[in-house]
Amino acid sequence: MQNILVTGGAGFIGSNFVHFILAANPTVRVINLDALTYAGSLENLKGLPDENRHEFVQGDICDRSLVDRLLHEHEIDTVVHFAAESHVDRSIHGPDQFVQTNIVGTYTLLEACRQFWLKENFAQNRPVRFHHVSTDEVFGSLKPEDPPFREDTPYAPNSPYSASKAASDHLVRAYFHTYGLPVTISNCSNNYGPRQFPEKLIPLMILNALEGKPLPVYGDGNQIRDWLHVQDHCEAIYSILQDGKAGETYNIGGNNQPTNLEIIRQICALLDELRPESPYRPHFQLKQHVTDRPGHDRRYAMDIRKIERELGWKPRFELASGLRQTVEWYLDNSQWVSAIRQQQEYQAWLMKNYAARGEAK
């Protein structure tokens, strides 16, 4: 692992991984390919541990000639593929971009790596690895009594987003079995932490509460998710890159199952404590139940015993400490928040997604 191509490295998880890998491994070089669509921002790449080992390239993973050039020019031996359209609500409003980026983009990367690593024999001289970052949403929804998702749980995606990620997972797995491309896949639970685009639940609640805006709660708010701190996620991916077995899939989760309402309650309690002068205390009074998302999955839970057993990884962040660290980061980084929220597309999306919902009936 010398020259890493990180796709989507200006987004939330990708940028956190770039920060992490440059600090964790002082010899790697990172080529960061990102289209800088709405959720990607160069703000996320400020203050990197060693900028001399990082090169940013603005471009589309569907651009085969660009991907080919980067692989050859930089002798890429490792691809960590984060780039994806990832918001379920956006996939409901416009699924076409999800099919293009998540399926066609992944195919383009796989084909380019197959050409360079296998057909041109680059992999004869050094180990190579294609790591595909995916989601627990490909498994569908769990009933209250169901056991957590395992790596061999059958796929049952329920949204255009999760269906597109499921398709990309199948492509990656097929390239291992059909062509012998050295791949690994990870399916993670809901991530949270610094630099998350503020359309997602946790940053949206933090920032709305600070300004006294309604805290939109889908349906009854009792949907259950497993929450994974992004730093833990980065460490898990690094463990897979170092010791994971080609062709294998690993579940990554935070070992918790709160309801969305419990998450919002904890965030509000932290803001009550950290901003005692706020005129909106108690912040939990700002919650407003709105019409639920169509086909909203009720419960996710992850069985992470495989990665614990085989690679020795487990999450370090408890949910309470992780939420505190996250709230404090948003409070301490108002310039980042301002830069992100000034994007016109962000404001237009909030209006499109939330204004039309109205209060839950």
**Per-residue model confidence as pLDDT tens digits over 229-266:** 999 999 999 999 999 999 999 999 999 999 999 999 99
Active-site residue, 38 included: no
Residue from 38, 107, 161, 238 carrying the catalytic annotation: 161
Residue 299: strand pairing partners: 224
pLDDT interval class at 87 (50, 70, 90): low
Q: Pick the closest to residue 44 from 252, 54, 161 (CA basis).
A: 54
Please state the rounded mean pLDDT for residues 310-325. Answer: 98
Whole-number Å distance between alpha carbons of 216 and 226:
20
The residue written with tokens 């300004």 in the block is 211
The residue written with tokens 């890159």 in the block is 241
Please state the rounded mean pLDDT for residues 8-25. Answer: 97
The residue written with tokens 């918790």 in the block is 256
Q: Pick the closest to residue 306 from 224, 231, 226, 243 (CA basis).
A: 243
Does residue 124 register a pLDDT over 80? yes
pLDDT of residue 347: 61
Domains with residue ranges and CATH for the chain = 3-193+227-255+295-318 (3.40.50.720)
Q: What global pTM score does this model have?
A: 0.93
Active-site residue, 161 included: yes
Residue 229: partners with Cβ closer than 8 Å, 6 or more residues away: 191, 192, 193, 254, 315, 316, 317, 322, 325, 326
Greater confidence (206 vs 297) lies with 206
CA distances from 136 to 142, 148, 169, 238, 281 (A): 11, 10, 11, 19, 35
Q: Pick the closest to residue 25 from 80, 106, 84, 81 (CA basis).
A: 80
Whole-number Å distance between alpha carbons of 328 and 323:
8
pLDDT of residue 294: 75
pLDDT of residue 361: 41
Contact 15, 43 (CB under 8 A): no
pLDDT interval class at 38 (50, 70, 90): confident
Please state the rounded mean pLDDT for residues 122-132. Answer: 96
Does residue 354 register a pLDDT over 70? no
Residue from 60, 85, 89, 137 carrying the catalytic annotation: 137
Please state the rounded mean pLDDT for residues 34-61. Answer: 94
Q: Pick the closest to residue 101 from 164, 162, 187, 41 (CA basis).
A: 164
pLDDT more than 70, % of the chain: 93
Say how far residue 151 (Cα) sits from the centre of its chain: 18
Whole-number Å distance between alpha carbons of 38 and 85:
10
Please state the rounded mean pLDDT for residues 116-138. Answer: 96
Please state the rounded mean pLDDT for residues 292-320. Answer: 92
Residue 80: strand pairing partners: 6, 131
**HSE-up (13 A, CA, CB side) for residue 46:** 10
pLDDT interval class at 178 (50, 70, 90): very high
Please report the DSSP string for 43-97 in residue order: GGGTT-S-GGGEEEEE--TT-HHHHHHHHHHTT--EEEE------HHHHHH-THH
pLDDT of residue 171: 98
- Mean pLDDT of all residues in the chain? 93
Does residue 37 register a pLDDT over 90? no
Residue from 60, 77, 85, 136 carrying the catalytic annotation: 136
| Amino acid (1-letter code) at residue 214 | P
pLDDT of residue 216: 94
pLDDT of residue 259: 96
Active-site residue, 136 included: yes
Does residue 360 register a pLDDT over 60? no
Please state the rounded mean pLDDT for residues 312-329. Answer: 98
Please state the rounded mean pLDDT for residues 85-103. Answer: 78
